[in-house]
Structures are given as C-alpha cells and as structure tokens.
Structure 1
Amino acid sequence: MTLETKKSVFVELGKFLKQFSESETIQKSDVLHNDLFFDDFQKLIALSQSHNGWYTPEQVYFAIQSWADALTEENISKWLSNYSFEEAQNDLEAHQEDQHSKTVALILAGNIPLVGFHDFLSVLITGNKALVKTSSNDQHLLPFLAKYIIAVNPEFADKITFVEGKLENFDAVIATGSNNTARYFEYYFKDKPSIIRKNRNSAAVLNGKETKEQLEALGEDIFRYFGLGCRNVSKLFVPKGYSFDAFFEAIFKYQDVIHYEKYANNYDYNKAVFLMSNFKLLDNGFLTIKEDSSYASPISSVFYEYYEDLEDLKNRLASDSEQIQCIVSNNLVPNNTAFGVTQKPQLWDYADNVDTITFLLTTK
C-alpha cells in the first residue's frame, strides 16, 4: 500500500466517525459501508458504559468527535509532511515493503475512550503491523474501528491482530501504564526497541488576569473524562495572594458532574480522607482544591501551589518535565496549551513529547 492509499483509509474512517455526536447522529449516504457498520456502532456507543462505568455516552461521543476532527485529509497530510516515507511504486516494491515491515506490540491504556488510537494509527500509517493488547477497560471500541478499516481496504487484514494472552513474535513495543507497570515493561522488553509511557499529569499556570471565558475553558480541561486522562489539568500554579473566587464562579457550569454516581463517590471519599487528615480545603460542592506540591490529584480534586517568581516557576516546570504532559496558560510559559483544548490534541501532539512516527520509521 502506498502512503496515499493508507491516508485515504483513515480519511474515510474520519468521515464515518463524523456522523456520530451527542447532539445529533445522522447517517450520510456518501459514507462507505454504513450498511454494515452504522447501526452496530450506535449500539456499541450505547453499551460502552456497561463495559466501563466511566465511559458515559457524553464522553464516548466526545472522543469520537475528536478523532473525526483529527482524521481529515488536511490534518493527516500536515502531520506526515515532516517525515520521509519510502513509497512503494509498483507491486514488487510493495511486496518488499511488506516483507520489511515490523510487527509492533501495542499495550494500550483504558483510562479514556480510544486513548490508544494514536499509537494504532501511527503503526499502520508507517506500513507496520499492529499486535494489539487492549486494556480490560476498553476492549470494544478500537476492535470495531479496526473492522471498519479492513472493510475499507482489506489489505489491512493481515496488519492488525488483537491478542488477549501473551504477546509473542514482535519487533518493537509501545506500552502505556502506571509508574509501577512501566518498571515491569522496561525489564520485560529490555531487548526490544520500545516506547514506555509512565504516569503524567497536566497543570495550569494562572496569573489572575484570565478572562471568565478562559477559566470556563479551564473547567473543560479539568472535568472532561472526569479528570481521568493524563492531559486533564490536576494542578494549578497561582501567584501568591491569588483569590479563587473567579475560578469557582467560572467552573460552576460543570456542577452536574456531581450527579454521576462514580464521580460523586470519589468526591465524597476523597473529601472525607482530606478532612480526617486535617487538610485545609476549598470546596464548591463538586470539586475540592488543596494546596499540595504533587502533580497527581485524586478524582474530584485539584491541587494548587503558590508561586512568587514566574522565572523560578519556569525552571521548576522544566526540571519536572518528565512528570508533566501539558501546561495550560495564557502564554505565561513556553510551549503552553490554550485553555479548553487539552483533550483535543492534534495528530502531531505526541504523548510525553516522544515522536512516535520517527521511532517507527527509524527502528530496525
């Protein structure tokens, strides 16, 4: 398959996903294989919460639309334009390309819907084979999309394998897990080229000059996927003497999150633990914020820390870079992310700032 052929398949997938949204799902006549997949995908979305209690329809639809927005001709071409691909020009070269393709084992997380799709896409778009071990928390969405991809182009059938047991016969690995499992991965895969991802969290740097709209958007960065993603903001850096009044007022629009039982249970439990430990809390009835130096706060809580000098904070963030996925701010720090878009990364926004495509193209 040429690169253009592979790109076209994922563009078709994007068109398929674009049909499904929380506000309105419309079957379009020009989308390939709707007769085979449209109704079943609707049913799968409806069943997702029974497979994983955190996968509410709202969150699953958001993930689907995020990928629909990403998988356009323009975005895929822009993403891949920075790389040098050896294109197969005829059948013989295509066969040779297939002979030299690598089998890449993917050990995926399941904290948010389709969180491993970027690795899956990267392996296939570079002409390699994906040997996929899904998380027990997300076993259905990606295999369904893989079936759609194969229907669009059957040549992908021998490039995608899902396994439930032991991973065997692979050339490289991309694995995502906790800091504890990462140590296991590093030992177990020490003889293979690998990308091993550990726990990371995201932060926001505020200076008190943020608009109400920006603080409302920060609420999206905090509450989307109930705060379970590594791109969710779990830590705030605020100047000495900062008042949280405007912050609490702006995020009040997200108050309905407390009506979701799993979130409410976490809120009640974590608040009780904090109070029994005599920690000083700020609380608005659905979110607690606590002064703490850690980046990783529990569900329903955000940690905060005061800073006095922005340059010192920049140095601190640079030294802690391996703990941080992204930083939200109004251009206060280098390489910051805009408010409200942490959970809408572009194809070229790599997890842990590790370029997956370069890894896949250069690994022998």
Structure 2
Amino acid sequence: MKPDCIIDVLDKLGSIISNFLSLSEEERVAKYPELSTAVLDCHEQNSWFVKPFVINSLKGVSQWLNKDKLWSFYNENRIKFAKTPKTIGLIMAGNIPLVGFHDFIIVLLTGNKAVVKLSSKDTILLPTLVSYLEKDFPEIAKHISFVQEITDNIDALIASGTNNTMSYFSYKYGQIPSILRGSRNSVAVITGNETAEEIEELTKDICLYFGMGCRSVSKIYLPDEECIKQIQDSLSAYSWMTNHKDWSDNLRFQKAMMLTKGETFYDCGPVIMIQESKLNSPMSVVHFEIYKSIEEVKKSLKALDSMVQCVVGDAKIDNSWVPFGKSQYPDINDFADRINTCDFIMQL
C-alpha cells in the first residue's frame, strides 16, 4: 500500500469513530453493533475501563484521524515511506483504553508492518477497529497482525509499561533497536489566577481513566492551600467514581492509612489531596506542593524532567505546558516521552 492509501484507511477509521460517537445509544447499536458490543465488553474484561472512559479514548484518537491532519503530520515529520516494509513489534500497556494507538498508526504511516502484542487487560477495542478497516481495505491485513508473544524476529520494538517490565524487555530484546517507555507522571501548576472553568477542566486531567495514564495529573503545585477549596468543589463532577468498587476500596484504604499515621489530608470526594513533594502518588491520592515562586517550580520541574510526561498550566508562563483539561487529549505531534517515533523507525 502507498502513503495515500494508508491515509485513506486511517481517515476512514476516523469517520467510523466520529460517526459512532455522534449517534444515540440505540443508533450506535443498530449501525455499529460490533463496536457497541466492544465498548461494553471492555468493561467486562477490565473493570477500570468504564464506558465513559472508553468513549473518551475513542474521542481522543479520532481527532488524529482525518486526511488534512494526517497529511500535515506526514509532511511536517518528513516521513519517508518504506520501500521494503520492516516489522515493528508493539507491546501495548493496559492502563487506559487504546494506550498504544499512536505507535500503531505511526508504524502504518511509515509503510511498515505492525506486530502487536496487546495487554491482557485491553484485547478488544483495537482488533474491533481493525476489523472495520479490513471490510473496506482487505489489503491492510498485510500490515497488521496480533500475536500472543513478540519473538526476536522483528526489526524494532516499541514497548510501554512499568519500570519493572521495561527492565525485563531490555533484557529480553536487548539486541533489537527499541523504544522502551517506563512509568511517568504528569503535574499541574496553579497560580491562583485561574478561572472556575479552568479548574473544572483540571479535574479531567486528574480523574480521566481513574488517574492511571502517564498524562494523568498526580501532583499539583499551588501558591497556597486556599486554592484547594476550588479544586475540591470542581471534583464533585467525578463523585460517581466513588461508586466504583475497586476505586472506592482504594480510597477508603488510603484514608485509613493516613488517619492511622496521623497525616493531614483534604477529602475532595473522589480523591484525597495530601502535601507531599513526591511526583508519583498512590491511586486515589493527589499530591500537592506549596511554592514561593514560579521560578522555583520551573527549577523543580527541570530536575524531574525525565519522570514527567506533561505539565498542565498556563502556556503564557511556559509554551510547552498543556492547557487545563487537555492532558488526556494529546495532539498527534505529542510524542510520548518526547521521543519522535517517526524518526526512530525511519532510521532503522
């Protein structure tokens, strides 16, 4: 397949997802029964994949899948379509739905073959989407395969997971060119001048996908503790999360632990906030740190750069910061860990 054909395929997928999202529940079932079933089955397979978050993941990837954006991305990254396709192994994490989709489309856009090992926690959604493509573009099947295990019969590997799994992959696939992504977190910076709407948007960055993504905000820099009240009020939009058994169990456990230790915390409904300098926070907990100046924050973030996926805040302070509410909606040019996967693949 040629570049224009691949882009036609991905544009078609974008249309399918966008049409699906625009329909009522009854219309979705009638027109896209397989995808409707997949959305429900995702939750049966993985209790963390609740329907609103699965729908949100489809919304997130659909924004990349239109001809104009794909051609712009293709040209901006000076993609050289492979004359002889290479085989790229993709090991996908299962923390949020479709978490490896960006790698998947880049392998296709560069003219290569994707050999995909899905997480056991997320085996339904991507194959369902691919099945729709194969109906109209049967030749795409030559570029995509799903496997139980990635062998060393590949030209390169892109894998995402925890730091522990990355150590294992580094050992197992050490002789193969690879991008290995371990654990990262994201942070937010509050100045105290935010609007109510911006704070409401921040709650998306905290709560979407139960805070399990590398782009989920696990720590907030605050000028003072008075800012917490506004965050606390806005988090009520996600109070439904406390009805999720596993989340609720974690929340109760964390509260009990802190009460036992005599630690002070803020009960914000679906999450609790505690003053803590560490970047990584336990599930259902958001850390906060009080700062004296923005320059102090920038210095702290520079030291943490290798552990931070993105920073949410006012782009007027730093143009690399992501607007409130947008951390879980990365642009197609937002490469994970700031490693350009197009360049990596084309240099093989």
TM bucket by the smaller chain?
over 0.9
Rounded to whole Å, the distance in 2 between the matches of 1:45 and 1:243 is 37
Residue 70 of structure 2 aligns with an amino acid whose one-letter code is I
| Distance of aligned partners of 1:309 and 1:359 in 2 relative to their CA distance in 1, 3 Å threshold | same
Matched position secondary structure for 1:81: helix
Alpha-carbon offset, residue 24 of structure 1? 2.2
Rounded to whole Å, the distance in 1 between the matches of 2:101 and 2:202 is 25
Matched position secondary structure for 1:148: helix
Alpha-carbon offset, residue 359 of structure 1? 0.9
1:297 and 2:281 equivalent? yes
Alpha-carbon offset, residue 312 of structure 1? 2.3
Identity of aligned residues (%): 34
Rounded to whole Å, the distance in 2 between the matches of 1:289 and 1:259 is 19
Q: Per-residue CA shift, 1:238-271, capped at 9, x if unaligned?
A: 1245442222122222222212222211111122
Please say if residues 215 and 310 of structure 2, whose CA atoms lie closer than 8 Å, have aligned partners that are also in contact.
yes
Q: Per-residue CA shift, 1:29-81, capped at 9, x if unaligned?
A: xxxxx99x821111111222101101111111111122222211122122112
1:39 and 2:33 equivalent? yes
149-158 or 350-359, which deviates more: 149-158
Rounded to whole Å, the distance in 1 between the matches of 2:306 and 2:142 is 36
- Aligned match of 2:42: 48
- Aligned match of 1:76: 70
Please say if residues 80 and 110 of structure 2, whose CA atoms lie closer than 8 Å, have aligned partners that are also in contact.
no
Rounded to whole Å, the distance in 2 between the matches of 1:140 and 1:251 is 31
- Candidates 252, 256, 264, aligned match of 1:280: 264
Q: Per-residue CA shift, 1:285-331, capped at 9, x if unaligned?
A: 32210111111112211001111121122122112111101101113
Residue 238 of structure 1 aligns with an amino acid whose one-letter code is L
Residue 232 of structure 2 aligns with an amino acid whose one-letter code is F
Rounded to whole Å, the distance in 2 between the matches of 1:189 and 1:146 is 27
Please say if residues 152 and 176 of structure 2, whose CA atoms lie closer than 8 Å, have aligned partners that are also in contact.
no
Q: Per-residue CA shift, 1:212-244, capped at 9, x if unaligned?
A: 100000001111111111111110011245442
- Aligned match of 1:244: 228
Please say if residues 134 and 140 of structure 2, whose CA atoms lie closer than 8 Å, have aligned partners that are also in contact.
yes
Rounded to whole Å, the distance in 2 between the matches of 1:243 and 1:12 is 45
- Aligned match of 1:352: 337
- Aligned match of 2:208: 224
Alpha-carbon offset, residue 104 of structure 1? 0.6
- Aligned match of 1:15: 15
Rounded to whole Å, the distance in 2 between the matches of 1:193 and 1:166 is 14
Give the TM-score, by structure 2 length: 0.94
Please say if residues 20 and 26 of structure 1, whose CA atoms lie closer than 8 Å, have aligned partners that are also in contact.
no
Please say if residues 21 and 62 of structure 1, whose CA atoms lie closer than 8 Å, have aligned partners that are also in contact.
no
1:179 and 2:163 equivalent? yes
Rounded to whole Å, the distance in 2 between the matches of 1:4 and 1:23 is 29
Please say if residues 133 and 162 of structure 1, whose CA atoms lie closer than 8 Å, have aligned partners that are also in contact.
yes
Q: Per-residue CA shift, 1:140-183, capped at 9, x if unaligned?
A: 11112222223232222122111113524101000111111111
Residue 202 of structure 2 aligns with an amino acid whose one-letter code is L
Matched position secondary structure for 2:32: helix
Alpha-carbon offset, residue 275 of structure 1? 2.0
Rounded to whole Å, the distance in 2 between the matches of 1:271 and 1:24 is 39
- Aligned match of 1:3: 3
* Pairing of 1:1-364 with structure 2 (within 5 A): 1-21=1-21, 24-25=24-25, 38-86=32-80, 97=83, 100-240=84-224, 242-331=226-315, 332-363=317-348
Rounded to whole Å, the distance in 2 between the matches of 1:253 and 1:84 is 42
Residue 11 of structure 1 aligns with an amino acid whose one-letter code is D
Q: Per-residue CA shift, 1:7-37, capped at 9, x if unaligned?
A: 0100000111112238725769xxxxx99x8
| Distance of aligned partners of 1:176 and 1:105 in 2 relative to their CA distance in 1, 3 Å threshold | same
Alpha-carbon offset, residue 84 of structure 1? 2.7
3-12 or 314-323, which deviates more: 314-323
Rounded to whole Å, the distance in 1 between the matches of 2:129 and 2:50 is 19
Please say if residues 79 and 342 of structure 2, whose CA atoms lie closer than 8 Å, have aligned partners that are also in contact.
no
139-148 or 206-215, which deviates more: 139-148
15-24 or 350-359, which deviates more: 15-24
